[in-house]
Copies of this chain bind each other. A is one copy, B any other.
Amino acid sequence: MQTKEKGRYHHGDLQTTLLRSARVLLEQDGIAALKLRAITRHAGVSATAAAPYFGNLAGLLSVLAAQGFDELTEAMSPPHAPLARDVGLAYIRFAIANPGLFTLMFRSDAINRTDAHLVAASERAFGRLAALPGPEKSGTTQAATMAARWGKAHGLAVLAIDGLLQPLTDNGDTCMTLDQLVSEAFR
């Protein structure tokens, strides 16, 4: 269970160990498992060991969320020519692949939205979506097309994570997978 080397009083890099423990718990049991005591217990340290590094629980989760935004940015960086559709689909697929992390990234009451690193990481990720050429609909602001694309991707991501798109996958006669549904819906 404990990732800390046994017997050592000074841990070395407790910072990253705590973040990894939090990540493990998040992926295992979801956001509800992100208690400070559970994280430190998993890391093999005392309950208040995170305070010197992260201040409080929100501080730790903010760093975790910032890591999530960095990974999202990475996932939205296509190797070749990026199409708006591919980037949006990458957004949705990242959310489905990392439901707990993605949910945390938008839980304003669990993280510290004013944290500098988090703001930078999130703006980097949002920039990937914004910097793409839209379909050039006449009569629509560029901000509106950006909001439309982002909103569609984000909504499909959230609804998919919550399992609310499940009834739509086996609608009618044919049965489709979740990825097929969101791929077809996002265009």
Contacts and interface: CB of A to CB of B under 8 A. Distances in A.
Nearest to A170: B143
Count copies of this chain in the complex: 2
A150 interface: yes
Given A154-B155, A155-B153, A155-B156, A147 B181 contact: yes
Contacts of A142: 171-172
A152 to B, nearest CB: 4
A145 interface: yes
A186 interface: yes
A109 interface: yes
A1 to B, nearest CB: 24
B32 A109 contact: yes
Contacts of A154: 155, 158-159
Contacts of A109: 30-32
Contacts of A168: 143, 146-147
Contacts of A185: 144-145, 147-148, 151
